Amino acid sequence: MRAHEIAYFKLIEGDKQFQVPLYQRTYSWRKPEWTQLWDDILEQAETLGDGDRRTPHFIGSVVLAPGLMSAGDTQRWLVVDGQQRLTTLMLACCALRDRFRNLSPRDGERIHKQYLVNEYREELDFYRLLPTQADRAAFIACVDSDPTAGGNDGIGAAYRFFRDALIACAPDGDVETLKRLEVVLRAGLSVVEITAEAGDNVYRIFESLNNTGVRLGQTDLLRNYVFMLLPGGGERVYTKIWLPMQTELGAANLELLAWLDLVIRGDDRVKQSEVYRAQQRRLDEVVRSGGEQALEAEIAELRRRGSLLMRIVEPTREQDPVLRAVLERLQEWGGQISYPLALHMLDLLDRGAATTDQVSRALGYVESFLVRRMICHITTSNLNRILNSAPRELETDRPLDEAVRRYLSGPRRNWPSDEQLRQAILDAPFYWQGRANQRRFVLKRLEQSYQAREPVDFAAADLTIEHVMPQTATPEWLALLAEEITDENDPKELHSALLHTLGNLTLTAHNPALSNHPFERKQQILDDSALRMNREIADAPRWGKAEIRARGMALTDRAIRLWPPPLPGGADLEDERRSWVLLRRLLAEIPTGSWTTFSDLATVIGVPASRIGGYLGSRPGLENAHRVLTSEGTPSPSSRSRDDAPADPRDLLAVEGVPFSDTGVADPTRRLGPAALAASIGLDIADEERPAAHRFRSQLAEQGLELTALVDKILDHWQARGGSLHYGSSTEVSCRLQIPLPGSGKGWIWPLLIYPQTGVIEMAFRQLSTRPPFDALELRTELRDRIARIQGLHLPATDALASPNYPLALLADGGTDHLLEAMNWFIDRLKPLPETTASATPLATPDNTLIAEFETTMRSVYTRAKTEAGYNANQFLRMLTDYGGLATAKRLLANPRISEGFAALYERQRLDLTVEAHVLDPKFASLFTEAELQTARDWLTQFGYRP
């Protein structure tokens, strides 16, 4: 091989043709690559416009191999590598030619002849570049200026991109600008041309360049190899078999097909990332034993299976209504887990080895296998292995449906029995099993089992999962549950045990309206529902433990009819063991400085809290057992700690950083609720998968529009001053207003927390007492006194040592303004006064009040720029946080160039929002030197703004 650097035009000039081989992938560059190339061209052109000559810009390598000479002696080159950039540059030349044709036709014609075509050749030899057949028509349309040029394919999109870019570059039709661009294309771009000799193995070159990275997909490499094995009939096979298959499936499904083809042939251990090598080994044997004819038959077989795969991927292609329905259900379930077995079944059906009814029933067993395992919370870790091995292990001397049921009922395949399904529906937290779409699928199928005369259009309905008994236990709901306590300690524990079970869940389009209302109000809404199961709930006289469990039993009966069980003896689960393995996983994930409760663990696992207490009590060495407390935040009387640790879990937790009150209650902000526990081990947590901030706002909305707006004002102001918000993980999502501790750069300090459902603000004086500078009592006392200015709020002197709270309602009637003033004072105590250099002598000695006012003004500048001008000045906000308002302004004025923010506001015609404009406010003049004030005037005047 020979390699040398060459200008792009030198590479393509002359009577030659570059052919992209059949094995190359289709054109795949998109806007990011086009934009990068165009930016490089513009940069070179701008340099030329300034009169400078720069070294050509290197854009990559092109690997070529000599092809056969044409009948007219045109030299042909196979593009082994680099076809993406060659094609893109040719399309850029097409666009430049067309732009010239409207402005300077002679230049346009010259570019056409020098860059794009072999003027005196005919038919395909006429074109300087010949892409693969899949891209050829679109490319030729661009070269020929055909009306179809610029279609929706990748070639057309690239051509349109460069057309638009040229118009944007020279909107007035400046020919000289266009000529500079042509000079860049001719001499300003260089490539390394790597040329193979006639005897070199082109395929090996291609493979070594592309199979050592991630640039090409597995089927790109496979296509290359296949047509290297077909030197005689490659063109015909590609046109009649491969290209139609590639067009029908698309790149992703073609790779999937190549993998599935291996799996159903028995290679169930192969990974999708290893498709190329595995198929290469298989096809080598095919060619050795049968030659090109046998390989062509294999490609035809792959094409046949590709059509079968598309009936799985797009079930609407299936003609039989019963089979189509079960394929649609498996597609709705999601993922490709069932694809190997489903394709095997359709393959048998297509070859006459199974009937449509057998395939439909067999796929129904697969659906049942997946759904029952999800409801019973069986790990999916071995699911791929089970289903991928099925095509190889199915008994062939039985009807297909019977063979599938026997296989899935086999040992260690864990297809839950009816009794196991019933137990899970009654006790397990269905709300956190599987994925969100799978939970909706189960509830949808249960609703469909009612076979209503006017079934719901689920595709059009915007249905979400609703808890009938709400997630937040209001006093009304707790009073109702108090009547049914048996083994539970209190109504809250019973609420946790029932909350997420299937019997308490339904589908509705009225989730926000239902909210935490009493059952009587929910009855009215559910009674108007089009869903039969909702009207059944509305018919219940009350909604407590008895009703939830009764509905769970009824839904179990429907589930058993929908999803048939395994054959007798097929369910070999160890339910007890699985529960305790899950418990140990949860315990191991509780971080240091946090705690949880028995009932929280019970909610996630689906067993009574009392059983968890018994299990922990019988195993004193269990990891992190000391981090499990009662719902009140106190140790259980039966708690045991590690043998080498103090007897009281509070001592261990305190060492780990969990604060306790004087009465021995753990800090509730450190509690991990069920949602956080579930998320820690990777469970999909349904509604809780929404960000905590979203749940906080949903809970805050219950306080009404006025209070919500006042809280928003507080949170926005806190963030504008450099603070951040931390949301809790308990059922009631607290919001902690925190800011980094000064000096150390580690840790946080916070003055207050907001509880949206309880409707209170909690002052964190106890926490402040351990963090400087507020470990000084006089500062905490000052903060208390400033907050006490809120009308109607009475804070005793002792509250500077505790964590008092007061209602959100006190924010009205000026209370918010007093709180904001106290927060400003709090933050100002955390920052040292800005330092000034010796040369920056102020005109007068400023007082701290003026500095604080300027600080507030700078924070306001950030907020107004964002809301009024649509400019998010993140860098400016970081500077304010790091240096304060005055020091930030001085730093910006000391810079010899305008800031990014100044430029952005100039573009938006809002220089009134710049730091410079506010520096020139007469009331702040004493904060700055005359030189700084003059700098501000100069910048504003230069850009046409008169302060």
Torsion of CA 307, 310, 316, 319, to 10 degrees: 30
pLDDT value for 689: 40
Please check the confidence at residue 482 and state whether its pLDDT lies above 70.
Answer: yes
Of all residues in the chain, the percent with pLDDT exceeding 90 is 28
Task: Convert the pLDDT of each residue in 666-722 to its tens digit.
Answer: 887 778 888 777 766 666 554 434 456 767 877 787 777 678 878 888 987 887 787
Burial class for 487, CB neighbours closer than 10 Å (0-12, 13-18, 19+): exposed
User: Confidence class of residue 399 from pLDDT cuts 50, 70 and 90?
Assistant: very high
Asked whether 690 and 471 are in contact (CB, 8 A), the reply is no
pLDDT value for 213: 40
pLDDT value for 694: 64
User: Confidence class of residue 433 from pLDDT cuts 50, 70 and 90?
Assistant: confident
Asked whether 70 and 125 are in contact (CB, 8 A), the reply is yes
pLDDT value for 761: 92
Q: Report the C-alpha gap between 220 and 217 in whole angstroms.
A: 5
User: Confidence class of residue 446 from pLDDT cuts 50, 70 and 90?
Assistant: very high
Please check the confidence at residue 99 and state whether its pLDDT lies above 50.
Answer: yes
Mean pLDDT of the chain: 83
Please check the confidence at residue 798 and state whether its pLDDT lies above 80.
Answer: no
Please check the confidence at residue 214 and state whether its pLDDT lies above 60.
Answer: no
Instruction: Pick 795 or 87 by higher pLDDT.
Output: 87
Cα 666 versus chain centre, distance: 35
Please check the confidence at residue 547 and state whether its pLDDT lies above 90.
Answer: yes
DSSP per residue, 186-220: IIIEEEEEEE--TTS-HHHHHHHHHSSSSSS-HHH
Please check the confidence at residue 645 and state whether its pLDDT lies above 60.
Answer: no
User: Confidence class of residue 216 from pLDDT cuts 50, 70 and 90?
Assistant: low
- Residue pointed to by tokens 């499904």: 253
Range 576-684 has CATH code 1.10.10.10: yes
Task: Convert the pLDDT of each residue in 724-751 to its tens digit.
Answer: 888 876 667 889 998 877 764 456 788 9
Please check the confidence at residue 374 and state whether its pLDDT lies above 80.
Answer: yes
pLDDT value for 883: 67
Task: Convert the pLDDT of each residue in 876-934 to its tens digit.
Answer: 776 776 667 888 888 788 776 677 788 778 777 888 899 999 999 888 888 888 888 88
The residue type found at 929 is T
Q: Rounded mean pLDDT of 600-606?
A: 83
Please check the confidence at residue 143 and state whether its pLDDT lies above 60.
Answer: yes
pLDDT value for 577: 61
Q: Report the C-alpha gap between 880 and 874 in whole angstroms.
A: 10
**What would you report as the CA-atom Rg of the chain, rounded to the nearest whole angstrom?**
36
Asked whether 766 and 801 are in contact (CB, 8 A), the reply is yes
User: Confidence class of residue 420 from pLDDT cuts 50, 70 and 90?
Assistant: very high
Q: Rounded mean pLDDT of 119-136?
A: 88
Tell me the whole-structure pTM to 2 decimals: 0.55
Task: Convert the pLDDT of each residue in 290-328 to its tens digit.
Answer: 898 999 999 999 999 999 999 999 999 999 999 999 999
Q: Report the C-alpha gap between 249 and 256 in whole angstroms.
A: 9
Please check the confidence at residue 607 and state whether its pLDDT lies above 90.
Answer: no
Six-digit token string for 601: 């663990």
